[in-house]
Structure 1
Amino acid sequence: MEVIRGWSHRPFAITDSSCVGDARRFCARTAQDWGWSEVDVGRLSLILTELGTNLVRHALQGELWIAAPAGGQEVEILALDKGPGMADVKRSFQDGVSTGTGSPGTGLGAIRRLASDFDIHSTPFGTLCLVRVRPASQEAPAGHRQWGAVSIAAPGETACGDGWAVATEGGKVSAVVADGLGHGPHAALASDAALDVFAGDPFAPIESFLPDAHLGLQTTRGAAVFALRMESSGQLKYAGAGNVIGRIISGVFDRSMITQHGTVGVQVRRTEVATLEMPDHAVAVVHSDGIASRWKAEEVVPLLQRDPTLIAAALLWQQSRGRDDATVLVIKQGDALE
């Protein structure tokens, strides 16, 4: 069994080349503290330079979102913008192809060659690029990652009051998203307490998780919590309290997952567990109320075959309210989880 305790992404607005330098130095310091080799640190810096330079030269309202999960095994980078997009993404990977002037046109192809993981999606309304960088000495994980999440702290805060975690075992997946009341360090303490309960027994019956979390959060300000369990067969059970929202999306299916009112750690009713069957090729999306609740399924459907983290980033990028912590967790179903 693998338990992944979630992280948050640090946003860097890229308005000029100095902003690219800030992001690059942040990553270089982090990787050196982990003991990465000079070659791996240099590879990471080059990727950041190319991504950031592309945003400065070609994009509107570009940002880099960077996550450095504990343990020093990986840096996750998202480059996002509001357009104008790339007319031919595949052609843009070819060395010598450039959409600007004064550029040799080797950036995007170099990024893909240097990255440990790479995914990209582009429309006239914006481009999203996902890159993960791991040390060369680290073995690549088996199979494709079937979950992904993006979490951003409220403006002006360094601690994110949202938290998320995922556990996998065979073909099963268990997950939780918690949104501590308010934002800042005290909200983070509440969401951390929910993750502590989850990590203690991630595959405990979902009927018992919410009462156990309620007890575990009683010394905190409380949190909205959503938990789900997905079997390899596609059966999904979920329960929660508060304004963390779940939804199942496929090309032909769109269903919200409704949970009860209340605040875990403060006041909740008896746990209500719901069960549904996941359609083929569907994804489960769970997000905090930092995301607008009335987003359209059409925003996710074109991305269903993409990396789940890219799907999560696209939804947060398009639908963030911009005044609170915001988290999106995406889980794909099917035997690819095994």
Structure 2
Amino acid sequence: MTDASCVGEVRRFCAKAVDDWGWSEVDAGRLSLIATELGTNLLRHAVQGELWIAAPPAHREVEILALDKGPGMVDVQRSSQDGVSTGTGSPGTGLGAIRRLASDFDIHSTPQGTLCLVRVRATGRTAPPERYWGAVSIAAPGEIVCGDGWAVATDGSQVAAVVADGLGHGPHAAAASGAALDVFAAAPFAPLATLVQDIHTGLQTTRGAALFALRMEGSARLQYAGAGNVMGRIISGVFDRSMLTQHGTVGVQVRKTEVAALELPDHAMAVVYSDGIASRWKAEEVVPLLQRDPTLIAAALLWQQSRGRDDATVLVIKQGETFE
């Protein structure tokens, strides 16, 4: 967000995203106001502010992340009250209005920066159950498509997920990761060894991809498999363990699939990330966010640890007795 014209661009993007969803003028106006306030807040109060927007048609909701590099808010609750402003010439109604108008709202602020997550759904649309997973995926600088892909499937107490990183970036990388997601979608709960082999076969007409596939069963056990430099970690307040897969490139060359398993500690979450993210980030950077929305956690890690020269994806899955 570099100047006032960016706010108008964000507003127009959001309006176009929901244009054929049948939203009322009131709901479309609510989205427009939220987008305007988030963008304006970044321009007035933040350093290096950005807005990331997703509008998945299947969910019929718009997800907006506002991120910056500081200076943060000393008291988030107080800053959310009408009439409280840290800027000059501002009525101090922005953050409070956003919270009231949003379908979902979460925020985390430190002197190093603020992250705000907002979701907007049409009035009357049933709110989804508690979210146990969330992801953020950003294309490499200069690209209009992301060469990474991710997908999640749930079935009662089980969740299956994949993150694929097509070799390189741009359209050909996106084609490889997209092919991996197509195979996953056809049989997400196939045995992991079978799934990885099927994806390997499905990618042989592409340039190939790094892949991480996992299966989590309720709050007790996790299995994972894959190949290449998509990595995983299990983190809780007192536990930190990396998950590494074998060398190779799915679709090009992989050895016999090795499936690993581990028991999950209480209150743990799985983090899976492509090599657009620095590999040696400290768990302490996300532990303060453990109770936050998984998408906010994913965004925080990508925002802080992106290498800035490649596609970057972070997927976060929290424990749950049942997944929705």
Normalised TM-score (structure 2): 0.98
Q: Within the alignment, does 1:235 sit opposite 2:221 as a pair? A: yes
* Residue aligning to 2:126: 139
2:146 is paired with a residue of what secondary structure? Answer: coil
Deviation of the 1:275 alpha carbon: 0.4
Q: Within the alignment, does 1:313 sit opposite 2:299 as a pair? A: yes
Instruction: Give the conservation status (yes or no) of the 8 Å contact 2:219–2:266.
Output: no
Deviation of the 1:334 alpha carbon: 2.9
* Residue aligning to 1:129: 116
1:151 is paired with a residue of what secondary structure? Answer: strand
> Per-residue displacement from partner, 1:55-110 (whole Å, max 9, x unpaired)?
01110000000011133601100000000000001111111111112111111111
Q: Within the alignment, does 1:254 sit opposite 2:240 as a pair? A: yes
Q: Within the alignment, does 1:86 sit opposite 2:63 as a pair? A: no
* Residue aligning to 1:158: 144
Instruction: Give the conservation status (yes or no) of the 8 Å contact 2:51–2:65.
Output: yes
User: Quick one: which of 275, 280, 284 aligns to 2:270?
Assistant: 284
Q: Within the alignment, does 1:179 sit opposite 2:196 as a pair? A: no
Q: Within the alignment, does 1:213 sit opposite 2:199 as a pair? A: yes
Q: Within the alignment, does 1:300 sit opposite 2:300 as a pair? A: no
Q: Within the alignment, does 1:95 sit opposite 2:82 as a pair? A: yes
2:309 is paired with a residue of what secondary structure? Answer: coil
* Residue aligning to 2:317: 331
Instruction: Give the conservation status (yes or no) of the 8 Å contact 1:82–1:127.
Output: yes
1:44 is paired with a residue of what secondary structure? Answer: helix
Q: Within the alignment, does 1:54 sit opposite 2:41 as a pair? A: yes
Question: 2:147 and 2:23 mapped to 1: Cα distance?
Answer: 30
Question: 1:336 and 1:320 mapped to 2: Cα distance?
Answer: 31
Aligned partner letter, 1:169: D
* Residue aligning to 2:91: 104
Question: 1:283 and 1:32 mapped to 2: Cα distance?
Answer: 36
Instruction: Give the conservation status (yes or no) of the 8 Å contact 1:281–1:334.
Output: no
* Residue aligning to 1:274: 260
> Per-residue displacement from partner, 1:271-326 (whole Å, max 9, x unpaired)?
00000011111110000000010111011100000000000000000010111110
Aligned residues: CA RMSD: 1.0
* Residue aligning to 1:25: 12
Question: 2:131 and 2:157 mapped to 1: Cα distance?
Answer: 13
> Per-residue displacement from partner, 1:102-125 (whole Å, max 9, x unpaired)?
111111111011001100000000
Aligned partner letter, 1:28: A
Question: 1:334 and 1:137 mapped to 2: Cα distance?
Answer: 27
Deviation of the 1:138 alpha carbon: 1.4
Deviation of the 1:336 alpha carbon: 5.7
Identical counterparts, % of pairs: 81
* Residue aligning to 1:3: none
Deviation of the 1:33 alpha carbon: 3.1
Aligned partner letter, 1:60: V
Question: 2:52 and 2:142 mapped to 1: Cα distance?
Answer: 15
* Misfit runs of 4+, over 3 Å: none
Instruction: Give the conservation status (yes or no) of the 8 Å contact 2:138–2:313.
Output: yes
* Residue aligning to 1:8: none
More displaced 10-residue stretch of structure 1: 287-296 or 101-110: 101-110
Instruction: Give the conservation status (yes or no) of the 8 Å contact 1:245–1:257.
Output: yes
Instruction: Give the conservation status (yes or no) of the 8 Å contact 2:132–2:320.
Output: no
User: Quick one: which of 102, 105, 110 aligns to 1:118?
Assistant: 105
Question: 1:230 and 1:99 mapped to 2: Cα distance?
Answer: 44
Normalised TM-score (structure 1): 0.94
* Residue aligning to 2:230: 244
In structure 2, stretches of 5+ residues that fail to align are: none
Deviation of the 1:233 alpha carbon: 3.9
Question: 2:198 and 2:18 mapped to 1: Cα distance?
Answer: 37
Question: 1:219 and 1:337 mapped to 2: Cα distance?
Answer: 34
In structure 1, stretches of 5+ residues that fail to align are: 1-13
> Per-residue displacement from partner, 1:21-70 (whole Å, max 9, x unpaired)?
11111111111133322111111010011111110111000000001113
Aligned partner letter, 1:112: R
